[in-house]
Structure 1
Amino acid sequence: MADYAMSFERLGQWISKRARSPTLRHPRATSLSMLDGAVAAVVAGPVSMASEEWVCPLLGVDPDAFNHDTEEFSAIAATLMRHNAIGETLSTRPESFEPLFVRSPDGEVDPRPWCMGFYAVMKLRLLVWSRLLSPNGTEHLMLRPILVHCIDDAGRPLLPPARRTLGTQPIVQNAWRDIPATVEALRQFWMPIRFKRGA
């Protein structure tokens, strides 16, 4: 796979170009940060997913692209290598996991693209994520550092104002700092269920 994969930097350029194309199917992941969040959701999520199920919508390619030595396949290979790298990190050194957040020249962190990528994968299998989506369940708090940065299809915050605070303090400003630990906690939470299903 490594022989076919484009570099991660080149993948970012490829995604950006494809997202602007007037003729090609647009990828749901429109940046490397968004793709990174999406891949993290696949790795840490409740079920194993066939590569075609998540790679095709994220990159805006058809399943047949897996069968041909093309630039699309090179992008697929790079995406799958990122999947393997995140899986390896979370399995062996979870404390070193670093989401690929967008950073401004002055160092400000923008976690929104990463979080929207994570949410894009959740939406592919929303029913299996539903256990964490009930605002009445304590498990819902696990997703809050991610979902607090997400918007729905109409551009509204995914979490209502009452769930965007902790006591009287808004959690949005520094919630991104909790995301690496959140991803590992989600992986641990789903692991017994995920492997039971796969048995």
Structure 2
Amino acid sequence: MTKSVNLDELDQFLSSDESPENCMMLSDLDGLLHGVICSPSPVSSDVWMAAGLGAELKELPEWVVNTLTDRYMEIAQGLAHDPMVVEPIFWQAKEGHVIAMDWCEGFMKAVSLNPKEWLRLSESGKDGHLMTPILLHMIDEQGNSMMGITQDQLDKALFQASEVIPDSVARIYLYWQ
């Protein structure tokens, strides 16, 4: 990551009382940014920042806007690079396993900004599966998979899905190019 993107400071801000009440946390925001960059049509920074931070640009500290813009550019450059570089920010549980659920929720928030356009991918017949690793992380309020995965298989399925998310994101990005 570039030195200009100080994600530790951003993470502290997002967790503080200074942040907007409805703002996402760092992993969710990173998923949102990846989804916005992969989007079939451009999403203005006013729209995605309001969706992710729960506030208008003018209400946010300048350094927060700059840090998010830097991270946006870093992700976009990684996707434009050959070979592509996709490095999602997932949480790490104390037990050592990866938690990609928040990141996936952020990505799906980006999808919700242009849902009709994203339908072309999910209904394409041959490429709709690209969204599967992300969709597998959608869990209801009772902790059950929204994709019908049984509780005894859920941890394994989520781990396997999180491993292929970077490749899926790269392929989703290419789908819209």
> Per the shorter chain, which TM-score range?
0.7 to 0.9
Q: CA deviation at 1:147?
A: 0.8
The structural deviation recorded for 1:111 is 0.8
Which residues of structure 2 form unaligned runs of 5+?
Answer: none
Instruction: Establish whether residue 47 from structure 1 lines up as the match of residue 66 from structure 2.
Output: no
- Please name the residue that 1:26 is paired with: 22
Q: Does 1:64 align with 2:58?
A: yes
The Cα shift of 1:139 comes to 2.0
Q: Which residue of 1 aligns with 2:163?
A: 177
Instruction: Name the aligned partner's letter for residue 11 of structure 1.
Output: L
CA-to-partner distance for each residue in 1:169-192, whole Å, 9 max, x for gaps?
x7433111111111110110011x
Q: Does the CA contact (< 8 Å) of 1:6 and 1:75 recur in 2?
A: no
Change (3 A) 1:16 1:98: same
Change (3 A) 1:32 1:115: same
Larger radius of gyration: 1
Whole-Å Cα distance in 2 between the matches of residues 130 and 153 of structure 1? 25
Structure 1 residues 18 and 79: CA distance shift in structure 2, 3 A? farther
CA contact (8 A) 2:57 2:65 kept: no
* 2:93 aligned residue: 104
- Cα gap change, 1:50/1:42 in structure 2, threshold over 3 Å: closer, same or farther? same
Query: 2:163 is aligned with what amino acid?
Result: R
- 2:41 alignment partner AA: V
Aligned-pair CA distance for 1:105: 3.5
Residue aligned with 1:17, SS: coil
Deviation at 1:43? 1.1
Identical-pair percentage: 26
Give RMSD over aligned pairs. 2.8
Q: What aligned pairs does 1:70-109 form with structure 2 within 5 A after superposition?
A: 72-109=61-98
- Residue correspondences, number: 171
Amino acid at match of 2:8: E
- Per-residue Cα deviation, 1:96-126 (whole angstroms, up to 9, x for no partner): 3221111123421111111111011111111
The unaligned stretches of length 5 or more in structure 1 are 66-70, 192-199
The alignment's TM-score, normalised by the length of structure 1, stands at 0.74
Instruction: Give the TM-score normalised by structure 2.
Output: 0.83
